Structure 1
Amino acid sequence: MTAHITERKPAAEHVAVRCVDSDVHPAPKRGELVPFIPEPWRSKYFLTHQFAEQIYYDAPDYAHAFAMRVDAFPDDGEFACSDPDLAFRQLIMEAGSDIGILEPAAYPCRIPEAEHAMSQALNSWQDACWLDPHNNWHQRWRGSICVGIEAPQLAAAEIEKWAGHPYMAQVLIKAERRPAWGDPMYDPVWAAATKHDITVSCHLSRSHHEELPIPPVGFPSYNHDFMVTYSLLAANQVMSLVFDGVFDRFPTLRIVLVEHAFTWILPLMWRMDAIYEARKQWLDIKRKPSEYVKDHIKFTTQPLDYPEDKTELTRAFEWMECEKILLFSSDYPHWTFDDPRWLVKHLPEHAREAIMFRNGIETYKLPDTVPALEGQTRVF
């Protein structure tokens, strides 16, 4: 630990932000989240049953490390990324991320009101245990306003509650709920987000079996099926947002798809544009679908598709204009963690600054400087 952690005082000197990490997963310590769950849901729902193992998640070494970095588990026996100081040391000081966007996760609930109660708890917990002056003394953490999109009016109220928080950087939703996002039932969520000029991000989730993404041939059985399937889910949400006119109704809406991969967006844009040209006299949207994507939707770099022939990835980056639509993400503390010092080397040189920090600053409305940290690794 550095002296800065002991003193809990930010430095007067500031340095330029050069790495915005859009995917960091904090976890509550044992019992830490429960007091924040509002009644009656705490007692009558969350404390009345045990959550079983999610058996379709068969990531490497899951039985031992729960698909986390082994060194991310603190010495007190708590879960990976439950200690803000350890996360700060590993991700900020050692890996070189300057700002980390916190994206807490919780097992989804079948009851919308229960999902809302859990979202309320996650927001209050972030505020008290990660974004408070003691744990965010360095001003490097930014939180997510978690909402249950299946209860749009409640979600909008939660956005209103937290939108003025100085360290809440985005709204966080899940993609599994039906119908698709283009349905007007979700308009209160988009309206609240655009009213406060705050980005809406969607992280892939793991839900009950019947709520998982449904490929044409049925439910996935294993993690490798599941992870690929999530790109199909994201593709459907992109098409719904575009063709159902969400960006025409909310022209300042910003969407980030976190951990859904991104190389698939290039052929999807090609296909949507072709359909648009053939049928635009029957469509109400005002522009080519690819233009909506490039103006309104961002994708995170993790997971990075990495073909054996590196030139294939380079060409894909160029064709999709990666400098317009990608944000760096590490996925800390998961086993799939991408160190920013490693990933930046695989980006086209002309796009590196845009992806590693400029797009993040613009998307999340972040400051372009942060208090200096003696001894911090710098990616640039």
Structure 2
Amino acid sequence: MLQQTKEERKPKKNKYGIIDCDVHVSPQSLDEIRTHLDPKWHWRPLVGGRDLFAHPTYVNRTDAKPPNGLPVASDPDFLRKQLIDEYGITHAILLHRAFCNPLPYAEFATVKASAFNNWLDETWLGKYNADGVFKGSIQIAHQNPVAAAREIERWAGHPHFVQVLSDSGSRAPYGNPIYDPIFEACQKHNLPFSTHVGTDGMGINLQASSGFPTHYIEWSTAHCIGYQTHLVSMLIEGVFERFPRLKVVLVEGGVSWMPALLWRLDTLYERYRSEVPWLKRKPSEYIRDHVRITSQPLERPDQDKHLVRMLELMDAENILMFSSDYPHWDFDNPRYAFPRIPESMRRRIYFENAKELYGL
């Protein structure tokens, strides 16, 4: 790993504190994960991802490879230099992609998630984290919600695990009561339930759109459809009435779809509210209390004034949290991610919303 002097490690000054809510990290080798698995599982492959929709060019920033030859996002000193110190990041919320949820073998998916959590605790949240800048996510496999709840219980109270992490890909929308054991554990321990896009239509997971796309660009653009499906399901099925303290974070699924979806949903609720008598409020009124969304990828229209208006319409000042998606190719530079927006909105997006959510 790179060694830096005290002066080199001094963060760049910035006007705002920044909490980056989507930073991806990786093991330096898969042996780091295997050491946390019973030998009977060693023959099973640990890698996984988007076999049907491989990225056509490159996934990561071209400058994200550490000079010492380690894999991208596996060298903590290089990541600190390129992200934490460069932009003065106060905390980085780590999302390690274990790709557990597409697996048909629920038992292996569960132990794989557990092994990745052990690795994260030992490395990025442990020996790499003397200053506490890194905060982690408890990876779960939702195929067995009861086992997932046990995994949440195992890490609850850890000083650096601040949320639960699942993929957006699933066999049922997240309002389905089969997932209640997960949400119950999240609420019990005041841990937000976060979901990251990228496994819709993979393995046993259903594709949220109609049928299967033929190109990566089509699949990627439609990520927001999966999030809309999950969010409408959670709102209408009464998840936030059953779990009134539950918080949900939607990561890397776009932003601009939120206002129109809620307008449509509220309109239909006024007509069909007798169908869902368990709802005590309009669907949109649950959002500020229960839902947060991360900023990357932030759709950018040709005119900044249209983006600013959209941020106002979605109540970004209260529900949006900054994310860079480091180290991926579409990394959002904190200095240029947003156009000119009101100072109060900027500070809440970059810092205060995440600080409040994660208790930092």
TM-score above 0.5: yes
Aligned partner of residue 71 in structure 1, secondary structure: coil
The residue that corresponds to 1:334 in the other structure is 328
Separation (CA, whole Å) in 2 of partners of 1:247 and 1:319: 22
| Alignment partner of 1:128 out of 109, 115, 122 | 122
Relative to structure 1, is the Cα distance of residues 326 and 127 closer, same or farther in structure 2, using a 3 angstrom cutoff? Answer: same
Indicate yes or no: 2:281 matched with 1:287: yes
The residue that corresponds to 1:377 in the other structure is none
The residue that corresponds to 1:375 in the other structure is none
Separation (CA, whole Å) in 1 of partners of 2:341 and 2:327: 22
The residue that corresponds to 1:91 in the other structure is 83
Letter in 1 for 2:232: M
Aligned partner of residue 238 in structure 1, secondary structure: helix
Letter in 1 for 2:33: L
The residue that corresponds to 2:214 in the other structure is 221
* Cα deviations by residue, 1:38-92 (Å, 9 ceiling, x for unpaired): 343333x337xx8697352335x32xxxx11122211232221010111111111
Aligned partner of residue 255 in structure 2, secondary structure: coil
The residue that corresponds to 1:267 in the other structure is 260
The residue that corresponds to 1:192 in the other structure is 185
Q: How does 1:241-280 map to 2 (within 5 A)?
A: 241-280=234-273
Q: CA RMSD in A?
A: 2.4
The residue that corresponds to 2:106 in the other structure is 112
Aligned partner of residue 32 in structure 1, secondary structure: helix
Indicate yes or no: 2:95 matched with 1:103: yes
The residue that corresponds to 1:358 in the other structure is 352
Structure 1, unmatched stretches of 5+, are 367-380
Separation (CA, whole Å) in 2 of partners of 1:4 and 1:213: 49
* Cα deviations by residue, 1:146-200 (Å, 9 ceiling, x for unpaired): 0011211110000000011111011001121111111111111001111011111
Separation (CA, whole Å) in 1 of partners of 2:8 and 2:131: 11
Indicate yes or no: 2:56 matched with 1:54: no
Separation (CA, whole Å) in 1 of partners of 2:306 and 2:190: 36
- Contact 2:104–2:203, Cα closer than 8 Å, also in 1: no
- Contact 2:208–2:225, Cα closer than 8 Å, also in 1: no
- Contact 1:19–1:98, Cα closer than 8 Å, also in 2: yes
Relative to structure 1, is the Cα distance of residues 51 and 228 closer, same or farther in structure 2, using a 3 angstrom cutoff? Answer: closer
| Alignment partner of 2:152 out of 146, 159, 169 | 159
Letter in 1 for 2:284: S
Instruction: Give, in angstroms, the shift of residue 111 of structure 1.
Output: 1.5
Instruction: Give, in angstroms, the shift of residue 106 of structure 1.
Output: 2.2
TM-score using structure 1 length? 0.87
Separation (CA, whole Å) in 2 of partners of 1:228 and 1:128: 36
The residue that corresponds to 1:311 in the other structure is 305
Separation (CA, whole Å) in 2 of partners of 1:156 and 1:192: 6
Aligned partner of residue 336 in structure 2, secondary structure: helix
Structure 2, unmatched stretches of 5+, are none
Aligned partner of residue 165 in structure 2, secondary structure: strand
Separation (CA, whole Å) in 2 of partners of 1:3 and 1:158: 39
Instruction: Give, in angstroms, the shift of residue 344 of structure 1.
Output: 4.6
Separation (CA, whole Å) in 2 of partners of 1:291 and 1:77: 49
Aligned partner of residue 92 in structure 2, secondary structure: strand
Aligned partner of residue 313 in structure 1, secondary structure: helix
329-338 vs 87-96, greater mean Cα deviation:
87-96
Aligned partner of residue 125 in structure 2, secondary structure: coil
- Contact 2:169–2:202, Cα closer than 8 Å, also in 1: no
Instruction: Give, in angstroms, the shift of residue 212 of structure 1.
Output: 5.1
Indicate yes or no: 2:65 matched with 1:68: no
The residue that corresponds to 2:18 in the other structure is 19
Separation (CA, whole Å) in 2 of partners of 1:311 and 1:328: 19
TM-score using structure 2 length? 0.91
**Greater RCO structure (CA 8 Å; 6+ sep):** 1
The residue that corresponds to 2:41 in the other structure is 41
Alignment length (residue pairs)? 351
